[in-house]
Amino acid sequence: MSPKPAHKPARSWSSPTRTTRPAPSSSRSSSAWAWRTCSCSTSPSLETMDAVFAEIEARHGKLDFAVHSMAFAKRDDLHGRVVDTSADGFALAMDVSTHSFVRLAKKAEPLLAKAGGGALVTMTYLGSEKVIPNYGVMGLCKAALEAATRYMAAELGAKGIRVNAVSPGPLMTRAASGIAGFDGLMAAAVERSPMHALVTPEDIGALTAFLVSDAGRLVTGGVHFVDAGYNIMA
């Protein structure tokens, strides 16, 4: 998933939206909660997060998994040189794109523990480890996000909580449309990847579903690519 650039006015988060998955074989809850987000220039407030998790606890008493998929950087910081990034722009990008996952994990931890363990998944991108044109400060944010994934996996593992990152290949989304030259990134992905294909939302969903399911119960701390093999090419 690509970062959400500053091409739209800031808008607030909506109320939590219920999501469902196939009924599990155990007694664990068959429902989870997620936030539906839109392009925004601020992270959700602590009050908003408190309200969301209070509602989850009131309705279900526990949580099986949470998926984090949000990012933001000012347009100039996204397309400009990293060395020109302002302190305010850097802090904003890190807060929305990286620390929001840490805050999510903090709030989710007690509810995941009540379920006997669970999973946290975030979305990252190859720009965390390779220099991608017009990705700017977001590459630094994704690198920090992946480091946070590893550290939180180590810290939460004793409670049976897994933490993973999914790294899809280029995918045309509303957010990606704000990255200059993104059509070229998609064309290169098709040409250079071993399988000569673009990832689809269904591919990303299938990998994420595996990671949060019991089938992925011993998978934690990793960055998992779904990009037709593009990441292995020199």
176: tokens are: 């990606």
One-character DSSP codes across 58-85? HHHSS-SEEEE---EE-HHHHHS-GGG-
Mean pLDDT score across all residues of the chain? 83
Note the pLDDT of residue 41. Answer: 41
Note the pLDDT of residue 218. Answer: 98
Q: Which residue in this structure is represented by tokens 């990671």?
A: 211
In one-letter notation, the amino acid at residue 197 is A
pLDDT at 159 over 70: yes
CB 120 within 8 A of CB 161: yes
CB neighbours of residue 54 within 10 Å: 11
pLDDT at 79 over 70: yes
Mean pLDDT in residue range 114-128: 97
pLDDT at 42 over 70: no
Note the pLDDT of residue 11. Answer: 26
Give the pLDDT band of residue 185 (cuts 50, 70, 90): confident
Q: State the helix-helix crossing angle for 136-156 and 87-94, rounded to 10 degrees.
A: 40
pLDDT at 21 over 50: no
Active-site pick, 13, 65, 135, 182: 135
- CA 201, CA 173: separation in Å to the nearest integer? 10
pLDDT at 155 over 70: yes
- CA 178, CA 27: separation in Å to the nearest integer? 43
Q: Does 125 qualify as catalytic in the annotation?
A: yes
pLDDT at 26 over 50: no
pLDDT at 37 over 90: no
Question: Which of 155-159, 179-183, 220-224 shows the lowest per-residue confidence on average (mean pLDDT)?
Answer: 179-183
Active-site pick, 13, 33, 53, 125: 125
Which residues fall within 8 angstroms of residue 36, CB to CB, at 6 or more apart?
13, 14, 16, 17
Note the pLDDT of residue 184. Answer: 82
- CA 118, CA 31: separation in Å to the nearest integer? 12
Q: Does 135 qualify as catalytic in the annotation?
A: yes
pLDDT at 68 over 70: yes
pTM reported for the whole predicted model = 0.81
Give the pLDDT band of residue 173 (cuts 50, 70, 90): low
Give the pLDDT band of residue 39 (cuts 50, 70, 90): very low
Q: State the helix-helix crossing angle for 100-114 and 136-156, rounded to 10 degrees.
A: 20
Which residues fall within 8 angstroms of residue 58, CB to CB, at 6 or more apart?
none
Note the pLDDT of residue 89. Answer: 97
What region, left, alpha or beta, does residue 75 occupy, with left being phi > 0 and alpha being psi -120 to 50 degrees?
A: alpha
Note the pLDDT of residue 138. Answer: 95
Give the pLDDT band of residue 65 (cuts 50, 70, 90): very high
